[in-house]
């Protein structure tokens, strides 16, 4: 029996959208548990600052690659950096996402639909394919897709984004079925409202924050580290028989009602 099933020593992880928020918290926690980590984001300056902050874990254990979530060249650079630097990839955290429209779904332009699907679904498909092609099955492995409670239950306002997250939930289950026989597990984490820049418009507004907090059994919004813990669990041997699941981390309250 492994004495610490949460230990990630000798593992190599890619975490997308890791220059802040849930992605950064995840990268830091995976490093703390022993993994080597490659992070991505769209802005070099933000990534440089992350490298500085993460250097306490050993500069040689972290790399950063500037890559837009939907860009095929960026995806190839990301996978190439992980393989060339660390020799293999064991953990993929598909965390980067965008929301290009707020409002009713039928009021959206097709450009917003395409942009949101490009990053949240097409980009995840391409990166996952590239990681699998790089040989994840040699070491077993874990893929964790960051979805949303809005992908389980519709929420007003986040319309197209919620549809992409619902697609990603089904992608998770389909892929889990197909690549489980290779020893690779695929799961998703569905956060509720978390205090990050992405959701700032919701938690910085007194009315929507009060509505969320008063209907949430824990009476508060979540912190990025609380999502990182769920991702690290699913990435670890502690979750060795967990496959094709969506782990909801929302304090038990779903998302905003009618926001």
Ligand X SMILES: NC(=O)c1ccc[n+]([C@@H]2O[C@H](COP(=O)([O-])OP(=O)(O)OC[C@H]3O[C@@H](n4cnc5c(N)ncnc54)[C@H](OP(=O)(O)O)[C@@H]3O)[C@@H](O)[C@H]2O)c1
Is residue 95 part of the contact set for ligand X (CB under 6 A)?
Answer: yes
- The residue from 13, 14, 15, 19 that contacts ligand X (CB under 6 A) is 19
Bridge partner residues of 36 (DSSP): 12
**Rounded least distance, CB 172 to ligand X, Å:** 13
Listed residue (237, 189, 252, 218) closest to 23, CA to CA:
189
- The residue from 6, 33, 34, 46 that contacts ligand X (CB under 6 A) is 46
Strand, helix or coil at 150? helix
- Segment interacting with ligand X (CB under 6 A) among 5-13, 42-50, 131-139, 232-240: 42-50
**Rounded least distance, CB 87 to ligand X, Å:** 25
Is residue 199 part of the contact set for ligand X (CB under 6 A)?
Answer: yes
Q: How far apart are CA 169 and CA 172, in angstroms?
A: 5
161 has catalytic annotation: yes
Pick between residue 102 and residue 140 the one whose CB is nearest to ligand X.
Answer: 102
Q: How does strand 62-66 pair with strand 246-249?
A: unpaired
Per-residue interface string for the shown chain with ligand X, residues 126-145, x marking contact by CB under 6 A: --------------------
What are the CA-CA distances from residue 218 to residues 213, 221, 251, 253 (Å)? Answer: 8, 8, 6, 8
Is residue 191 part of the contact set for ligand X (CB under 6 A)?
Answer: yes
Catalytic entry in 6, 57, 102, 161: 161
Is residue 93 part of the contact set for ligand X (CB under 6 A)?
Answer: no
Q: How far apart are CA 210 and CA 256, in angstroms?
A: 10
Is residue 119 part of the contact set for ligand X (CB under 6 A)?
Answer: yes
Is 108 exposed, middle or buried (CB count within 10 Å of its CB: 0-12, 13-18, 19+)? Answer: middle
Helix, strand, coil share (%) of the chain residues, nearest 5: 50, 15, 35
Pick between residue 9 and residue 206 the one whose CB is nearest to ligand X.
Answer: 206
Q: How far apart are CA 188 and CA 223, in angstroms?
A: 18
Contacts to ligand X by CB under 6 A: 17-23, 41-43, 46, 68-69, 95-98, 119, 146, 148, 191, 193-194, 196-199
Q: List, by residue number, the catalytic residues.
A: 161
């Amino acid at each position: 029996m492994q004495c610490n099933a949460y230990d990630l020593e000798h593992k190599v992880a890619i975490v997308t959208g890791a220059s802040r928020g849930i992605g950064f918290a995840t990268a830091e926690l995976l490093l703390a548990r022993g993994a080597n980590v490659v992070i991505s984001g769209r802005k070099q300056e933000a990534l440089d600052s992350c490298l500085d902050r993460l250097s306490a874990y050993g500069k040689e254990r972290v790399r950063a690659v500037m890559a837009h979530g939907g860009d095929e060249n960026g995806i190839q650079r990301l996978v190439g950096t992980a393989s060339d630097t660390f020799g293999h990839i064991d953990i993929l955290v598909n965390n980067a996402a965008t929301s290009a429209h707020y409002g009713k779904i039928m009021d959206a332009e097709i450009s917003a639909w395409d942009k949101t699907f490009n990053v949240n679904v097409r980009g995840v498909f391409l990166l996952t394919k590239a990681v699998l092609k790089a040989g994840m099955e040699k070491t077993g492995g874990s893929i964790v897709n960051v979805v949303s409670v809005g992908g389980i239950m519709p929420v007003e306002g986040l319309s197209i984004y919620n549809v992409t997250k619902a697609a990603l939930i089904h992608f998770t289950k389909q892929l889990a079925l197909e690549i489980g026989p290779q020893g690779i597990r695929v799961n998703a984490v569905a956060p509720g409202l978390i205090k990050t820049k992405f959701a700032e418009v919701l938690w910085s507004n007194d009315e929507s924050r009060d509505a969320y907090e008063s209907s949430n059994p824990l009476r508060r919004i979540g912190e990025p580290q609380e999502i990182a813990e769920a991702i690290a669990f699913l990435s670890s041997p502690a979750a060795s028989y967990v496959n094709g699941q969506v782990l909801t981390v929302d304090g038990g309250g779903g998302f905003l009602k009618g926001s």
